[in-house]
Homo-oligomer: A and B are copies of this chain.
Amino acid sequence: MATSVPATTILDVARVAGVSRQTVTRALNGLPDISAATRERVVQVARQLNYRPNRAAQGLVRGRDVTIGLVLEDLRNPYYPELASALSRIASDHGWSVILCDIGDDEQKSRARLESMVQRVDALVLTGCRTETVGLLPHDALRRRALGIPIVILDGSPDDQADAVVEIDYQAGVRAALDHLTASGRRRIAMIDSSHIASPRRESYRDYLREHKLPWTSRSEFRADETHEGGVSAAQELLGDYPEADAVLVYNDVMAIGALKGFARAGTAVPGDIAVVGTDGLDVGTLVTPELTSLSIDKTALAQHAIELVDNILSGRTPAGSRQRRRIGLTLVVRESA
């Protein structure tokens, strides 16, 4: 934030201490070629004046650094911290840093947050953001401005308006999950999907059931809020509408854990009465009882791709305007719930 009163600069310190600006630099940065007495005096003055070095000026003279902005919906949703952790570590291995933008659900605040962040980063990584999020980005920074900062979308669709997109190949994953379920004798497999979007996961689920001639009715599918509570109530609904179900595939782990709770409340045994498979492969899946079997997304790989894609763009290795697209697969992590 721009401070209204001009901040103390190195020249102020120099003036008050009665030395040159260079001497101040030497004193404050622990450089040699300065007497202990002078150093001490300068430090005192700096303290008194509450001098703080201006990072921009330092950065300008020291050379370029890269900062990427990670935009996500809500860090309290356990998917994001895993991703953020991976991204932050990998970025740091490249000597880059990551600024966090937890946009939250207040649209006005989201805009403001994005706007101020855009000023401070060299690239944007959006994850799990609803498509609208791109629309929230300040016009003048990304559209009016001829040269926008590069945008990478994680878990996006190939059509997304971004310089690069990492897609997640749910189809093969869903098949692996359903193979696992049928191999253990499950046949009446339900699905709890997001009520927000019609996920490709559901298409794959239907295809699989059809191909394998497994029972499917309109009552096989449930849609709920992408939250823990959504999962709880979906499980209750499922128990009412499709009581014969012996397995259920869930849109994400948070909902799946909710479903676990819903079943537990109803006295339905998991995996005894019904098997549950989540999606995301979150660590929290190991905290609950039974531990959640899940289609796991490799967040480290996702983060790795994000960094590479950004690097390609910033370095110019990828010609501007070329829309990079990548995909990563899912791995079925079998724990206790299925």
Contacts and interface: CB of A to CB of B under 8 A. Distances in A.
Contact of A116 (B3, B46, B97, B315): B97
Question: How many copies of this chain does the complex contain?
Answer: 2
Contact of A98 (B27, B58, B100, B121): B100
A180 interface: no
A148 to B, nearest CB: 11
B46 A146 contact: yes
Interface string A17-47: 0000000000111100000000100110011
A119 B57 CA distance: 12
Interface stretch (A78-86, A158-166, A170-178): A78-86
Contacts of A122: 52, 55
A258 B117 CA distance: 38
Contacts of A55: 56, 59, 67, 120-122
Interface residues of A, number: 88
Interface of A: 1-3, 7, 27-30, 39, 42-43, 46-48, 50-60, 62-67, 70, 74-76, 78, 80-82, 84-85, 88-89, 92-102, 104, 109, 112-113, 116-117, 119-122, 140, 144-147, 228, 254, 257-258, 260-261, 264-265, 283-284, 286-289, 314-316, 320-321
